[in-house]
Amino acid sequence: MKVDYSVELPNDLRAISRAVQQLVNRCREAGFDDDRLRLNLRVGVTEALANAMLYGNGRDPAKRVRVEANVSADEVTVRVTDEGCGFDPQTVGDPTLPGNRSRPCGRGIFLIRKLMDRVEFNERGNSITMVLLAGSRANRSRASQ
């Protein structure tokens, strides 16, 4: 992935808002569709960062989280990587199923998968790559599925 935006964050939930706003601003400067930035990107990246800090890094203040992005008017690709040992995303249950509704885990990944156009995890499970397409490209992509 070509990277034109990169930031390393302390493992502190208070750092999320500013990092997400900087990324949204960078996307606006590139001419990315503002409607998809307001909800999809903002919520998806916030969830990925919170998961990295809380679960990946286990709230350890000595660890860091890296955000890398490639931004254009057509799409934004964001990778969030923590310093944890990783996990298997296939083991996370669907929080909409009756047996999982009262369980607290899986909601963030569910939201990310619904809000972003493509989501991939690295083999280790400590890095998530999310792709958000601009409005018209996203509509064509979803129509062809």
Give domain limits for the chain.
5-143
37 and 20 in contact (C-beta within 8 Å)?
no
Helix (H) or strand (E) holding 17: helix 16-29
pLDDT (tens digit per residue) in 43-65: 999 999 999 999 999 999 999 99
User: Residue 70: helix, strand or coil by DSSP?
Assistant: strand
CA–CA separation, 61 and 53 (whole Å) = 9
Q: Please tell me the predicted confidence (pLDDT) of residue 33.
A: 84
57 and 82 in contact (C-beta within 8 Å)?
yes
pTM of the model: 0.89
Q: Which CATH code of 1.10.3720.10, 3.30.2320.20, 3.40.640.10, 3.30.565.10 fits the domain covering 5-143? A: 3.30.565.10
85 and 39 in contact (C-beta within 8 Å)?
no
